[in-house]
Chain A
Amino acid sequence: MISLVVLPLFFTVSLGAGQGGAGTTFSPTAHIPIAWVDEDNTLASFRLWQSLSTSKDFSNLIQGYTEQGALAQLGSKRIYAVIVVPQGFQNDLESGSQARVILYTDDSEPGVSDQIQATLTSYTQNFDPDVQVQPYLSQLQRQSVAGVAIVTKGATFAGFNIGLTTVLAIVQIFAGFYEIAGGMSREREDGTYARLLVSPVSIGSIMLGKTLFDILLSIIRTFTVLGISVYAYGARPNTDVLTLLALSLIVALTTMGLGFVVAALKMGARAVVIIEFFLILFLFAFSGLIIDSNLLVGVSQVISNLLPFSYAFDALKRTILLGRPLLSLTFDLEYLIGSILVFYALAFILLHYSRERLIT
């Protein structure tokens, strides 16, 4: 029940809660308390404050601090940044020089400093001190440099689509590995694997039977993740259900193949779980889950290129996010199917030749 229900539910809900679903647009900086220190006290500095405080990105700008007072509070969790408009701000703008704003940040909060800086810069890039009410900046304008607008094209992904690709792959890998490698280890530890081997059932049939059973569970898991992602978090996959199911099962089969190989190495149930944990951490680093695999360097790039799961994540992204037809991803599919065959063949050979060893 853990691998069938708890894991899909837990992963999907926790990622959805963290990222927010469709219709829950939020600005990460909106509610962060930030001190505003105006040392210029001019019309220009007032207009900058006005444009920030009325925006949806800085709704928690706190006035009334001196620079020293604000800095003393920074790091105490009462405020996480201090924006200081220094004296001479308006003069610089009037004389055509580049004015300055100083941003002090509590950089012990991972990501907060970069996020506040990027959001603040997007406003200051296009600030016009001669305008009383700064125009609303679209996402496009915020990315632009004064003088050169940057128009971005390319599909943007609604709702929880990116979350869906990640959760679907992780759940299938996590659960599939646990069911095959963990299941066989448990059978071995309980003594039922020895009984299976002395029954008139071939190794191939045992593998096939376990695979078919796990495919059934994988189908249920796919629909569980898909259901929660679509109905609870508003995911809108750019592909049809059959493609999604096919890819999900390919990921599951690759994992099962690897699971059989590990099971043939006579690992205990606990060791299997620990290997599983390392496998998932490994995938986080090398398979394009956290950082695009094309950005990895040196040995990391080689490992990423060898990992079948990198191609699985790539195929999931290209179908679910970009809407590419499954059969157009020939290299990804060839590599994945090749890996499945290699894993299964290797597992069969190992299980066949270590029959005696595995029952002792």
Chain B
Amino acid sequence: MMNFVRDTVAITGKELKQLRRDPVSLVLTIMFPILLIGIFIVIVSAFSATFHNVPVVVADLDGTPASNALLNKITQSRFVHVTQLVQTEDQAYQEVANGQVIGAIVIPQGFGTALAAGDAFVIISTDNSKLTSSQFVNEAVNEAAQALVTQATQQGGVGFGLKLAPIEVIVRPLSGRPPTGDPILPGFLGMIAILGAFDDIVNAISRERERGTFPRLALSPVSLLAVYSGKMFATVVLTVLRTALMLLIFTLYGLVVHGNLILIFFTTILIAIFTLSVGLTISARIRGSATLTVLEIAMTFPLFSLAGTTNSPLLLAPGGKAIADSLPWTYGNDALRRLIYLGSGFNAVAGDLAILIVSSLILLPIAILLSKRTM
């Protein structure tokens, strides 16, 4: 037993030294977290900018005080920037069709009279190939209309048929945090654990095979089990380092980590071990390190959506949800969100962790067996 532990530690040390001597892998280990967070910041800052200035044109075909009031509110919107006032509806649509603006807002003739009767309408035409921008145009008009209705109601609208929305929805988030893009961050930690472990397996198995050092390792007076457990332990050490780096970046970014740190580290280690098992299984079939890296990276991209990193699996189409439910990574990401974002305890994530452990216990022996056979 002592020999086994000693050999495992020796192999672990060898793996870590090898990583230190390989600048590409070292850069990868450090750059993954920084790059992912960088992308997150770019996207979040674009979404949460104070002003979006989506270009729109407005055709005010009514020319009454009511339509003017609406036009003013649209002009003041933080979502859109009115680049031009056009005379006709067709002109407005043409600007969108030509790609000059993202949206055209048409206030039809009779808007003022219809507003008093409570059945006014506004027409919006948007370039829906710009998914987010077109939503911002809708939002700008919606807000302007709501503000107009509120103003008219407060001014004691003389028997207007219009009224405020009858029910206001007040939202209280469980975490007590303000609404931001931060719930995505724990999922990014999960992705780092996955990507890192995939990369470790490429280093640990495929590259050794390519260099011809794996058979030498097998011929050395170290048991094969110690070789595999040493490589796995190296991944555990690296996962701990990556997790610590990510948590440090989160803290610098301003995310308060609520949960138990030991549980967070334990969860990322379990994610890494499961990923290692998957990588080991694939590496038994695909032997080139570059090909294996490409395949694993290609596998990782869909996981951003299917394993609940950027969006909750609850919102996926039924087919996607079924896939998400069958992926142990989904449960790992879920556990990380609950721990980091909600500050939940062990009981809340025990089921998720159990799924990860059972999946690894099933897959890891098969993966080692396959790997040994194709050594």
Contact = CB atoms under 8 A, between A and B. Distances in A.
Contacts of B299: 10
A41 interface: no
A195 interface: no
A18 interface: yes
B320 A145 contact: no
B317 A19 contact: yes
Nearest to A151: B123
Query: Most B CB atoms within 10 A — which of A114, A124, A270, A324?
Result: A270
Given A24-B318, A113-B173, A278 B167 contact: no
Contacts of A31: 314
B311 A110 contact: yes
Given A75-B344, A101-B169, A150-B124, A107 B290 contact: no
B294 A105 contact: no
Given A145-B165, A186-B290, A321-B128, A20 B319 contact: yes
A295 B132 contact: yes
Given A14-B302, A124-B169, A145-B149, A291 B43 contact: yes
Given A281-B35, A292-B133, A295-B49, A101 B167 contact: yes
Interface in A267-320: 268-274, 276-278, 280-282, 284-286, 290-292, 294-297, 300, 317-318
Interface in A62-109: 74-77, 80, 93, 96, 98-109
Contacts of A182: 290, 294
A24 B317 contact: yes
Interface in B182-224: 183-184, 186-187, 202, 207
Query: Most B CB atoms within 10 A — which of A114, A115, A153?
Result: A153
Contacts of B348: 75-77
B167 A98 contact: yes
B6 interface: no
Query: Most B CB atoms within 10 A — which of A19, A76, A105, A294?
Result: A294
B274 interface: no
Interface in A106-159: 106-115, 117, 120-121, 124-129, 143-157
Contacts of B163: 96, 146-147
Nearest to B128: A154
Contacts of A28: 314-316
Contact of A150 (B138, B207, B289): B138
Contacts of B301: 11, 170, 280
A296 B131 contact: no
Nearest to B317: A20
B129 A321 contact: yes
B277 interface: no
A2 to B, nearest CB: 6
A294 B133 contact: yes
A2 B93 CA distance: 45
A36 B320 CA distance: 27
A127 B149 contact: no
Nearest to A318: B129
A208 B175 CA distance: 58
A150 B142 contact: yes
Contact of B302 (A15, A110, A146): A15
A152 B149 contact: no
A276 B341 CA distance: 32
A111 B315 contact: yes
A233 to B, nearest CB: 10
Contacts of B36: 281
Interface stretch (B113-121, B232-240, B248-256, B264-272): B113-121
A112 B167 contact: no
A178 interface: yes
B132 A292 contact: yes
Given A107-B177, A108-B183, A111-B311, A317 B302 contact: no
Given A148-B145, A149-B121, A110 B183 contact: yes
B315 A75 contact: no
A107 B43 contact: no
Contact of A295 (B133, B294, B308): B133
A124 B165 contact: yes
A11 B120 contact: no
A326 to B, nearest CB: 14
A216 interface: no
A145 to B, nearest CB: 4
A6 interface: yes
A127 B126 contact: no
A105 B171 contact: yes
A343 to B, nearest CB: 21
B344 to A, nearest CB: 6
B96 interface: yes
A26 B149 contact: no
Nearest to A152: B124
Contacts of A126: 165
Contact of B24 (A48, A102, A271, A294): A271
B85 interface: no
Given A150-B138, A300-B42, 17 more contacts: A6-B298, A11-B301, A16-B319, A105-B172, A107-B177, A108-B337, A112-B314, A143-B138, A147-B149, A148-B122, A150-B122, A281-B35, A291-B132, A294-B54, A294-B55, A295-B132, A322-B127
17 contacts: A7-B298, A20-B318, A20-B320, A113-B173, A117-B169, A146-B162, A147-B160, A148-B149, A151-B123, A152-B125, A152-B138, A270-B202, A274-B28, A292-B132, A294-B133, A295-B133, A321-B129
